[in-house]
Chain A
Amino acid sequence: MKKILLISLAMVFALAPGVWAGKAFPSRNITAAVVWGAGGGTDTCVRIITAEMQQFLGVNINVINKTGGVAGSIGMSHAFGQKHDGYTLCGLSESNVTAGVQGGWDKKFDVWDTFIVGGSPDVLSVTADSPYKTIQDLIEAAKKDPKSIKAAASGAGSIHHLNLLAVENGSGAKFNFIPYKGSAPAQNAAMTGEVNVVITSLAEQQQLLRGGKLRALGMLIPNSFDVADLGTIPSAFDAYPGLSKYLPISQAIGFAVPADVPADVKAVLVDAFKKGMATEKVKTWAKENYYQLSGKTGAESKAVFDALESNFAWTLWDLGAATIDPASLGIPKP
């Protein structure tokens, strides 16, 4: 019995191409494990970019979803637990940087080497019948009567909540923050009139803005943004330059490989990624879906994720929503 097992094992190894020969990367299919659910922003993004990358790599990239745990910790642990050979990518987003301080992940985020596809910028909007026509109207009203204006965003410590906090810090206004379980319910609440202000991403809000159900007051990025049949949404920075100290806090959706993957393998992935990002298909998709493409890799994307990690981790710690002291993970204060 043992003999048969040994022989068959040997056969498997002998037949598996590239295992012994040390052929150039990639010699077999690559798996991308997305830590968020199918159909979500991260999932869509990873599927789009990997579909383009496989043309340049010459092998398939199979996308699977490994969800659950704390801030996607199950998917990250799974991908990190595979061989660090570049054959397993981990599809993730900025929100995963909180897994550490929430006790789902015992490492600092820089054990990953990230590839950022991009993200949709956040926009601050009010209900369609709101008396506030410009961002100044709103901020001045909120300053006059602090905490009287209700602002919706997804749960405490989410990226949209961080954007709201940054608006408060940068403008001096104080809102009554009402958390929701995601962007869709937050937008719904704005439409029902339960809240006055809502912050979600432009991709999530564009239909309601263009349908006249909500009114955009300002983009939370340094530049304005053109939206089809709506015109230009100005940047909130124009009226409140102080915001540039705290913003933008943008989504960073993409994928990652463990940082200790061999440099030549990484180089192949970076090359395919850059080529994929430059394709017409990715560009069209981004434009149609109101995404801003980034294309950052290596040291550039590390800087982005370091900043996000420190911002998220310390904000959660200050809110009392973190279980692990960010200092103990070596995360510097923002």
Chain B
Amino acid sequence: MVLLFERLGSFFDIVLGLATHPESLAILFGSVLLGIIFGAMPGLTSTLGVALLTALTYSMDTNLAMVCLLSIYVGGTYGGSYASILINIPGTAASAATALDGYPLACKGEGGRAIGLTTTASAIGTIISMLFVVSISPIISRFALQFTSFEFFLLAFFGILISGTLTSPDLVIKGWIAGFLGLFLACIGRDQLQFYPRFTYGFAELESGIEVVPVLIGAFGIPQIIGVLKDKVHIGKAKELQRILPEFGTVLKNIPAIVRSALIGVGIGSVPGIGEDIAGWVSYGTAKNTSKHPETFGKGELQGVIASETANNACVGGAMIPLLNLGIPGSPPAAMLLGALMLHGVTPGPMITFEHPTFILEVAAILLLASVAMWITGMVLAKQVVKVLKIPTQIFMPIIGMLCIIGSYSLGLNIFNLYLMLPVGIICYFLTEMGYPIAPLVIGVILGPMADENIRRALMVSQGSFMPVFTRPVSLILFLIIVWTIASQLPWYKRKIAQLKQSFFKKK
């Protein structure tokens, strides 16, 4: 107990130290803002932001470099929601689930309210995850060690499946088909295990596989641009002088949802190798399934927006847990962070508490400050950002189109990405017209390599046997959830449930 208080004491010392240091404060706010911009621009992701700043922070002191990198990570994860809510093009894959309800809210003229609430929820989510980093991270990292190749495969597969289930406007199978299209795209390139080229047809550009960012931009951006211009949709019926700061009562009412989403985010973030994108979907799915009125989801439900945005920000803290305790990054931006730490001579791992005793507390303190900075910046920005909806679509959409092109190209300054983005976008436009949701396709591209690599490796390890799926507790649970997700969509299952309900009520 005394130890805990001592820890808390030194934690607040560090927080105060950072908060009263002008240079670190300037870096804190600057990086959060930069992160938000990176997140909000389709094509620039928090992974890219952390990667770019890693090189810039090389000459900085380790602490300041960490302030810079963690702030851009937190800001970038949050910033994705702007583009999702306001233009229906997720700024990052992590906020793809946010668009489902965020955009309808913006169309109703409640964009500002949605942003205000997600900002608050994101900040709370980050802080909750920070608490886990300080308190029980060794226990969580032990839980993360339950994940072997079979579990990783099942988790990736579940991620694709759930996004398919949740996004289909009519038939669920269409969502799954879109998901499997994404899985197919993910197979292109050298396979990660044996390095064999697949579907490359001799194109050197395809060797390293399909880049996620151009697919993300093409798949969400182009159909949106064509759609809006064709139908002359008026997004910006925003009410004048709308309130950004959420009412205290609304926040309070949603606290259970926020805490639940934050827990999901921490849990998923702490599993090595998977990150914010899957956390957003799982949390959104949970919110919809446990809601008393699931039919309002997808039509502008505040809880949907809260669920995905809280979870993806809570994921940041979660991802720090295996990174700091085991030296294994919990998400793609965390992998960049690992590199940056090595550059500064800090090797995270089990020995970190001996070599750098206060390091974990420092990370937690930075996370706390970054979430506060994010909240303040977000509140100031939101009011201005909502104004983009007032720009006439005829002008706005071509600008978005330009941004899509620049965003795809800026990734490695590679012209091939444009050749990839345009066809993907046009195909996705027709898919949208036919009622196929696009999000599962993108999630398929993102999680495909993980699913593919892990199922093949799992079978190598078990020498071709599928038995470990049933004998390993975590994978059995995941397997049952997947079976239930599929079965609950089948007509006979729905009939059976209805029958059961009826007979139950009759007896009464």
Known: A70-B204, A194-B461. A156 touches B194 (CB 8 A): yes
Q: Are the CB atoms of B58 and A47 closer together than 8 Å?
A: yes
Residue of A39, A179, A193, A320 contacting most chain B CB atoms (<10 Å):
A39
Which A residues form the contact surface with B (CB < 8 A)?
A: 37-41, 43-44, 47, 63-65, 67-70, 73-74, 102-104, 150, 155-157, 176, 178-181, 184-185, 187-189, 191-195, 206-208, 210-213, 285, 288-289, 316, 319-321, 323
Q: Are the CB atoms of B193 and A155 closer together than 8 Å?
A: yes
B208 cross-chain contacts in A, Cβ below 8 A: 68-70
Choose from B190, B196, B339, B463 the contact partner of A39 (Cβ within 8 Å): B339
B351 cross-chain contacts in A, Cβ below 8 A: 207, 210-211
B148 cross-chain contacts in A, Cβ below 8 A: 189, 192-194
Q: Are the CB atoms of B204 and A104 closer together than 8 Å?
A: yes
Q: Are the CB atoms of B339 and A178 closer together than 8 Å?
A: no
A-B complex: 4 closest residue pairs judged by Cβ atoms: A39-B339, A211-B350, A207-B349, A321-B195
A sample of 30 cross-chain residue pairs with beta-carbon separation below 8 angstroms, ordered by A number, consists of A38-B340, A39-B340, A47-B58, A47-B343, A70-B204, A103-B207, A104-B207, A155-B192, A156-B195, A176-B460, A176-B461, A176-B463, A178-B461, A179-B194, A179-B457, A184-B329, A188-B272, A192-B147, A194-B148, A206-B347, A207-B350, A207-B351, A210-B350, A210-B351, A211-B350, A213-B350, A288-B345, A289-B347, A319-B194, A319-B195
Known: A102-B207, A156-B195. A68 touches B414 (CB 8 A): yes
Q: What's the nearest-Cβ distance from chain A to residue B195, in Å?
A: 4
A181 cross-chain contacts in B, Cβ below 8 A: 192, 453
A69 cross-chain contacts in B, Cβ below 8 A: 204, 207-208
B192 cross-chain contacts in A, Cβ below 8 A: 155, 179, 181
Q: Are the CB atoms of B339 and A188 closer together than 8 Å?
A: no
Interchain CA distance A195-B463 in the complex, whole Å: 12
Q: What's the nearest-Cβ distance from chain A to residue B261, in Å?
A: 26
A193 cross-chain contacts in B, Cβ below 8 A: 148
Binary CB contact string for chain B from 146 to 163 against chain A (1 if under 8 A, 0 otherwise): 111100000000000000
Interchain CA distance A40-B149 in the complex, whole Å: 25
Interchain CA distance A322-B412 in the complex, whole Å: 25
Which B residues form the contact surface with A (CB < 8 A)?
A: 51, 54-55, 58, 145-149, 190, 192-197, 204, 207-208, 272-273, 326-329, 335-336, 338-343, 345, 347-352, 412, 414, 453, 457, 460-461, 463
Q: Are the CB atoms of A38 and B149 closer together than 8 Å?
A: no
A288 cross-chain contacts in B, Cβ below 8 A: 345
Q: What's the nearest-Cβ distance from chain B to residue A50, in Å?
A: 11
Q: Are the CB atoms of A185 and B348 closer together than 8 Å?
A: no
A37 cross-chain contacts in B, Cβ below 8 A: 51, 336, 339
Choose from A64, A194, A212 the contact partner of B149 (Cβ within 8 Å): A194
Residue of B nearest to A65 (CB): B55
Residue of B nearest to A290 (CB): B347
Q: Are the CB atoms of B338 and A39 closer together than 8 Å?
A: yes
Q: What's the nearest-Cβ distance from chain B to residue A36, in Å?
A: 10
Q: What's the nearest-Cβ distance from chain A to residue B490, in Å?
A: 34
